Chains A and B, each alone.
Chain A
Amino acid sequence: AIVLNQSPSSIIASQGEKVTITCRASSSISSNYLHWYQQKPGAFPKLVIYSTSYRASGVPSRFSGSGSGTSYSFTISRVEAEDVATYYCQQGSSNPNTFGAGTKLELK
């Protein structure tokens, strides 16, 4: 199975700050199959970015993604209070699909 290593495991950021999360895969993944989810406390996960860089419907433009091969990143250009959540990367390139361990974003 492809292992996704997410870093950092937690981030403490100030409002307005830029944050970046990295997702590194143990084997190369097609960029069409790398996705990012947001899970707010007590809620179900919500798709934020699909196929590396495409924002899901209704997702603000401050969220973006990039990458290729084994290295992918997720960025929030200016963190807002409502962005407090845990973020997960997921790959569907190779069976079984797998998730990263998650990155918990908190506000300073």
Chain B
Amino acid sequence: EVKLVESGGGLVQPGRSLKLSCAASGFSFNDYWMGWVRQAPGKGLEWIGEINQDSSTINYTPSLKDKFTISRDNAQNTLYLQMSKLGSEDTAIYYCAREGRGYVMDAWGQGASVTVSS
């Protein structure tokens, strides 16, 4: 069974940093692109970015490129999202997802909640 489990969310003060993790199991992690998507309260889905199998290609949505960093550790079957200079607009549920052919997001984690507030 494909399983993705995010962790590391919580309450963080404005301007601070936070790193999310996504533990993958049930599939060959190093064979897949992986991505991050977020959803602000009551809003739609926003694609954050993606990383290929060997971390040689990382794509971001332009508005988040300077504050978010995606990485992975294939030995640990774990995907990461490093977030810096957080503001209230970054309050959201953050989902990790496996990407298949055509960049379809065919498996999702349950999400990690991040609240940015003083």
Contacts and interface: CB of A to CB of B under 8 A. Distances in A.
Nearest to A36: B104
Contacts of A95: 59
B61 A47 contact: no
Interface residues of B, number: 26
B32 interface: no
Nearest to B97: A45
A35 to B, nearest CB: 5
Contacts of A99: 37, 44-47
B81 to A, nearest CB: 15
Of listed B102, B106, B109, residue having the most chain A CB within 10 A: B102
A98 B110 contact: no
A51 B104 contact: yes
Interface of B: 35, 37, 44-47, 49-50, 59-62, 95, 99-111
Interface of A: 1, 32-33, 35, 37, 39, 44-47, 50-51, 56, 86, 88, 90, 92-93, 95-102
29 contacts: A1-B61, A1-B62, A33-B103, A35-B105, A37-B45, A37-B105, A45-B95, A45-B105, A46-B108, A50-B100, A50-B102, A51-B101, A86-B44, A88-B45, A90-B47, A90-B105, A92-B99, A92-B104, A93-B103, A96-B47, A96-B59, A96-B61, A96-B62, A97-B47, A97-B59, A98-B61, A99-B37, A99-B46, A99-B47
